Amino acid sequence: NVVHGSDSASSAAREIALHFDVGELVDYKRIDESWLYE
């Protein structure tokens, strides 16, 4: 799938682990994130 949505956070974590190693994941915040989300 080009775009995929998981039905829960635990499903998403399992699916991400199938395709990526921990070292390949990057945690970042967008500059406008505080304006978009409460």
Query: In this predicted structure, what is the pLDDT of residue 38?
Result: 75
**Residue 29 gets which letter from DSSP?**
-
Residue 11, by phi and psi: left (phi above 0), alpha (psi -120 to 50) or beta? Answer: alpha
Instruction: Determine which one of 1, 2, 4, 33 is catalytic.
Output: 4
Q: Which domain holds residue 29?
A: 1-38
Determine if the pTM surpasses 0.95. no
**What is the tens place of the pLDDT at every residue in 1-38?**
567 889 999 999 999 999 999 999 888 888 988 888 87
Query: In this predicted structure, what is the pLDDT of residue 1?
Result: 52
Catalytic residue at 19? no
Please tell me the total count of domains within the chain.
1
